[in-house]
Amino acid sequence: MSEEKILDIRDLDITFQTTAGAVHAIRDVNIDLYRGETVAIVGESGSGKSVTMRAAMGILAKNAVINHGNIEFRYCHDDGTAEKVDILTKDKKWIRRHINGKRIAMIFQDPMTSLDPTMQIGRQIMEGMIWHYHTPKKEAYRKAVQLLDEVGIENAEKCMKAYPHQLSGGMRQRVVIAIALACNPDLLICDEPTTALDVTIQAKIIELIRRVQKERGLSVVYITHDLGVVAKVADYVNVMYAGKIVEKGKSNEIFYDPRHPYTWGLLSAMPDLDTDDDRLCTIPGSPPNLLHEKAGDAFAPRNVYALAIDDKLDPPMFQITDSHCAATWLLDPRAPRVEMPTELKRKIERMKKEAEQYGGEL
Ligand SMILES: Nc1ncnc2c1ncn2[C@@H]1O[C@H](COP(=O)(O)OP(=O)(O)OP(=O)(O)O)[C@@H](O)[C@H]1O
């Protein structure tokens, strides 16, 4: 993997001011991303995945307050030279001109939220090139046809003239990917990119993202609660709970040697071929209300393995390997020895066996 760091999120801490009070949405988040790498951020709804990446794109809501932290992005100028910029110090105008849709592109769950229903596909792909690079119209047209071809749309010329409603869901998501690639970004953020699609199309879109990533040396961040997708794509995984990263590591560390009870819960809830639905365990309870912060570990009320200290002190990150760490008091040397649930152990063994059959890939 390349040593060129594209994104470096350090100690990011964000609160939203609302009429009901302050919502502490992001707590001391750290994420690194190198060129060509894929990092996944997983967690239940409301855990802070999207806010973290919206901060990285410089598009936080007006009521967001950055308590502390910085987001260093390797910004590549049009002449190929690069400098590190702190996204959080840049104004909206600079971000719009230089970052959004140019160096960082985003793909959302529902393609219709990114597509303009009243505009032909071709124009939507050409728009970014014309706005960001002043590409002449004819050249932008030619490049747009090429992009549609690249994302696997068969009759690209015809598609250029079509409107979004004339395409299937899968085709629309391909168009969204073409738009995202149009300005040759360094970083692609995929926010639940396949959730709205049916399973066979999901696999094709993931394969497409993987292919363009490899061909273009793109860095990709996946935001998802679907661990099945994560297993297929991610080099590194960050597990988020209540605005905090509670476990992070290489994909195989998170899937084969998870240490945080929340990660155990997420993995236990992940369907696999041998689990019948009746035995799928969901995590008891629901995510906390971030308006009312409690002392100690935010996950404690839902954690059957919680220790007395969990109600008093938030656990620090315990290092397991160079790349793997988890914030749970169970990893403290003084804690009683607690093993992951037997059912999960069996599931992990099955995953390992399956992976061996497919040449070691998760
Ligand atoms: N503008 C805002 N004002 C107040 N609270 C906000 C705002 N934006 C986000 N939040 C809160 O911040 C928390 C994190 O939200 P975020 O959208 O990042 O979650 P998520 O993990 O991406 O969830 P999902 O999977 O549902 O998209 C949530 O509690 C959300 O309600």
C-beta of 286 in contact with ligand 1 (< 6 A) = no
**Interval between CA 56 and ligand 1 midpoint (Å):** 15
- pLDDT given for residue 1 in this prediction: 52
Residue-level pLDDT at 196 = 78
pLDDT along the chain (362 residues), means of 10: 87 97 97 96 94 95 97 92 95 93 90 90 96 95 96 94 94 94 95 84 90 94 90 94 97 97 94 61 86 92 95 97 98 96 94 80 62
Query: Is 14 within 8 Å of 26 (Cβ atoms)?
Result: yes
Ligand 1 atom with least separation from CA of 240: 21
The position carrying tokens 């199309």 is: 201
Asked if residue 280 has its Cβ within 6 Å of ligand 1, the reply is no
**Residue 61 near ligand 1, beta carbon < 6 Å:** yes
The two three-digit tokens of residue 235, written as one number: 């080099």
Supply the pLDDT for residue 124. Answer: 96
Which pLDDT score, from 0 to 100, does residue 284 have? 86
Could you tell me if the CB of 304 is within 6 A of ligand 1? no
* Pairing mode of beta strands 104-107, 244-250: unpaired
**What pLDDT, on a 0 to 100 scale, did the predictor assign at position 228?**
85
pLDDT tens track for 303-354? 999 999 999 999 999 999 999 999 999 999 999 999 999 999 999 999 998 8
Structure tokens belonging to residue 215: 């061909």
Residue 348 to residue 362: CA distance in whole angstroms:
11
DSSP per position, 197-250? S-HHHHHHHHHHHHHHHHHHT-EEEEEES-HHHHHHH-SEEEEEETTEEEEEEE
pLDDT tens for each residue of 184-234:
999 999 998 888 788 888 888 999 999 999 999 999 999 998 888 898 899
Helix axes 261-268, 342-357, angle to 10 degrees: 60
Evaluate whether 191 touches 176 at the Cβ level (below 8 Å). no
Q: What was the pLDDT predicted at 306?
A: 95
C-alpha of residue 238 to centroid of ligand 1, in Å: 17
Report the amino acid identity of residue 160: M
Radius of gyration of the chain (CA): 21
pLDDT at 194: 83
| pLDDT value for 280 | 58
Does residue 290's CB lie within 6 angstroms of at least one atom of ligand 1? yes
Q: The complex's ipTM?
A: 0.98
| Separation CA 190–CA 215 (nearest Å) | 17
CA 150 to chain centroid, in Å, comes to 23
